[in-house]
Chain A
Amino acid sequence: MTPSMNIINNDIIERCRCGDQAAFRWVVQTYQQMVFTLAFRLLCDEEEAKDVVQETMIKVWVNFASYNHRQSLRNWIYTIAIRLCFDRLKSKASVEPLPEDEEYFSQYVSDSDTERELENRELLSVIKTLVSQLSPKQRIVFALVHLENLDTEEVGQITGMDAAKIKSNLYVARKTIREQLKQLGYGKDG
């Protein structure tokens, strides 16, 4: 983050702490897509992801007074969103991918145009097929490391897990996904 961005962020944070709703609107507009993407990838449900965005932003607003400057605003928002997603993942039974999801998945894998923008429905099927066998913790670690591209230190800050736990969850997650791909007929060589 550039120094000027830092100054803007600090100013926005201070204003939000003082109850400035206009400043908070900026926070919502800046981070709602990030939270939506994360929740979409974790919960595999568009409507639930929207609910998580709302709940996260309201929690951020209510608890701005307890925000610690040592953590970046982005990571703090990630932390709140992850906790909400984790609660939802724990309470709902894992959803097995449907045959049509697997069909979308095979189309996606065999698509030569790797840059093609997927529709939400297709994206959902691909993610669901890939991560359906993972536990909530494995899913969170996998999404943060491989899909959100965060480093281990940041994942630790966000999830509260130590490096060893992150590594073990990631190892099992990758192994499970590899086995899932093998079952679907995609070995190491594709």
Chain B
Amino acid sequence: MEKMDEITRRLALQQPVLKDADALTECIMVNLPQQKKSLGQPYLRAVRWITSIAAVFLLILFFGQSRDLVQRPNDIDYGQSLQKFQSDYSQTFDNLPPREAFRQFVEMKRSRTSISDIKSHYSF
């Protein structure tokens, strides 16, 4: 047998002596902290996973819906809105050159326009 194998075989049979084993046990038992809580039965874990996924799905739906609401003005029939606009302001700007008409329109809107004006004007 090789020397190394002989030595390791002998060493494997030799155990170090643990002095004061009872004192060590006592020391461990006295210092035991709070146990970590179990995650519970497997089916409970499955329920948690499902509810978490459902919550994420609902959040995605919510934000998707909000984005859709913000984009809705794009769906407005601009042809109809333009007609309404032209009929409303035709009296005021008909006799003015286009550049002046535009300047006056901007001035007028600057003083009057608010989000509620826009909303009421475009009726949404």
Contact = CB atoms under 8 A, between A and B. Distances in A.
A53 B6 CA distance: 29
B11 A24 contact: no
B14 interface: yes
A54 B17 contact: no
Instruction: Give the one of B17, B34, B38 with max A CB within 10 A.
Output: B17
Contacts, number: 100
Interface stretch (A1-9, A63-71, A74-82, A87-95): A63-71
B39 A28 contact: no
Contacts of B21: 29, 32-33
Chain A interface mostly: helix
Interface stretch (B22-30, B63-71, B77-85, B103-111): B22-30
Contact of B31 (A24, A37, A58, A64): A58
A151 to B, nearest CB: 14
A109 B7 contact: yes
A190 B4 CA distance: 9
A89 B12 CA distance: 21
A182 to B, nearest CB: 9
B120 interface: no
B91 interface: no
A170 to B, nearest CB: 12
Interface in A127-180: 127, 130, 146-149, 174, 177-178
